[in-house]
């Protein structure tokens, strides 16, 4: 237990020292502020380009629309930030052989992997919730006509966070397989961005973690009946990916 606590402390300090936490926070929270503002200014921008035209029906945004726009950027851009900042989480240590001493001292490799996942999972959960709360209150200020219940926002944040946690476990596995972080990053991004396309196949759409993103965008309590099963499936995927990462790290040769 003491060694695991030491691993967690080491990862937390490394996340601070390397600015990974800060980069993740910027990549997730920045759009929480920008999206509502851009949507608020968009009618004026369009009106200046097309004077005399009635654009009220085309750009009639609400708080829900602002939050959905935020989630769209979370998928498109924040995923990129997540991968680029963490793609070397294990590969850099394998490449630089910084794990030689822990390995030679019979360190608990399982604990090292789990500590990395736990530290960044907590960071992602907190940062994502903060991002959604900022986006909620800022969009509420700019679009006060139709206000969503805060309870819906918390559910949406948790659903989206679980999707991010799956991506984190995927990055962790890819990073354990390759000594070049860029290779791990490219493969991770390829899988993440291909999932929506594969999800267009009706029989496959519900079994991929991207289904959580689609459900989060509903922004109501009218979730599909399959959501709970999708959550269980995603947790199962995470466990499998972490298990594969641990297996790989126990087999890797550092010499």
**Position 223 confidence tier, pLDDT thresholds 50, 70, 90:** confident
Question: What does the block give as tokens for 145?
Answer: 């006509």
Give the pLDDT confidence score for residue 44 in this predicted structure: 73
The 10 Å Cβ neighbour count of residue 52 is 5
The 10 Å Cβ neighbour count of residue 119 is 21
Find how far residue 118's CA is from the centre of its chain.
14
Residues 120, 238: contact at Cβ < 8 Å? no
Residues 67, 216: contact at Cβ < 8 Å? no
Q: What is the pLDDT of residues 13-46, one digit of tens each?
A: 999 999 999 999 999 999 999 999 988 888 777 6
- Is 50's pLDDT higher than 70? no
The 10 Å Cβ neighbour count of residue 62 is 16
23 Cβ contact partners less than 8 Å away, ≥ 6 residues apart = 81, 85
Residue 91: helix, strand or coil by DSSP? helix
- Is 249's pLDDT higher than 80? yes
Residues 132, 156: contact at Cβ < 8 Å? yes
Q: How many helices (H) and strands (E) does the chain have?
A: 12, 0
Q: What is the pLDDT of residues 85-118, one digit of tens each?
A: 999 999 988 887 777 666 666 668 899 999 999 9
State the Cα–Cα distance between residues 80 and 19, nearest whole angstrom. Answer: 16
Q: What single DSSP character describes residue 149?
A: P
State the Cα–Cα distance between residues 147 and 150, nearest whole angstrom. Answer: 9
59 Cβ contact partners less than 8 Å away, ≥ 6 residues apart = 42, 43, 46
At which residue do the structure tokens 């860029």 appear? 182
Q: What is the pLDDT of residues 116-156, one digit of tens each?
A: 999 999 999 999 999 999 999 999 999 988 899 999 999 99
Give the C-alpha distances (Å, rounded to integers) separating 202 from 199, 205, 211, 217. Answer: 7, 5, 11, 18
CA-closest candidate to residue 36, choices 9, 65, 13: 65
């Amino acid at each position: 237990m003491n060694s695991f606590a030491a691993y967690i402390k080491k990862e937390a300090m490394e996340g601070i020292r390397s600015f990974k936490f800060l980069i993740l926070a910027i990549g997730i929270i920045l759009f929480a502020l920008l999206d509502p503002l851009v949507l608020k200014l968009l009618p004026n921008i369009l009106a200046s380009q097309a004077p005399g035209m009635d654009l009220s029906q085309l750009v009639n945004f609400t708080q829900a629309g602002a939050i959905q726009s935020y989630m769209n950027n979370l998928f498109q851009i924040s995923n990129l930030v997540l991968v680029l900042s963490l793609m070397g989480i294990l590969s850099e240590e394998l490449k630089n052989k910084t794990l030689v001493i822990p390995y030679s001292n019979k360190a608990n490799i399982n604990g090292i992997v789990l500590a990395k996942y736990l530290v960044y999972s907590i960071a992602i959960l907190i940062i994502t919730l903060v991002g959604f709360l900022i986006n909620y209150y800022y969009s509420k200020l700019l679009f006060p006509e139709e206000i969503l219940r805060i309870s819906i926002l918390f559910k949406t944040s948790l659903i989206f966070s679980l999707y991010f946690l799956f991506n984190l476990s995927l990055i962790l596995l890819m990073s354990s397989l390759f000594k070049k972080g860029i290779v791990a990053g490219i493969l991770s991004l390829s899988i993440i961005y291909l999932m929506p396309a594969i999800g267009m196949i009706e029989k496959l759409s519900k079994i991929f973690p991207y289904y959580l993103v689609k459900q989060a965008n509903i922004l109501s309590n009218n979730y599909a009946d399959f959501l709970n099963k999708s959550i269980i499936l995603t947790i199962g995927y995470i466990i499998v990916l972490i298990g594969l990462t641990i297996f790989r790290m126990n087999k890797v040769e550092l010499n």
